[in-house]
Amino acid sequence: MLFKVEMTVNIPSSLPKEQVEEVKAKEKAYSQRLQREGKWPHIWRVVGQYANVSIFDVADNQELHEILTALPLYPWMEISVQPLCAHPSSIYTEQTSSK
Ligand X SMILES: O=C(O)C[C@H]1C=CC(=O)O1
Q: Which residues bind ligand X (CB under 6 A)?
A: 7, 9, 27-28, 31, 52, 73
Of 28 and 87, which has the nearer Cβ to ligand X? 28
Identify any residues that bridge with 4 across adjacent strands, giving them in sequence order: 55, 82
Find out whether 64 and 56 touch, Cβ atoms under 8 Å.
yes
Longest distance between any two alpha carbons in the chain, whole Å: 53
Burial of 40 (0-12, 13-18, 19+ CB in 10 A): buried
**How far apart are CB 98 and ligand X at their closest, in Å?**
36
Of 52 and 63, which has the nearer Cβ to ligand X? 52
**How far apart are CB 97 and ligand X at their closest, in Å?**
32
**How far apart are CB 49 and ligand X at their closest, in Å?**
9
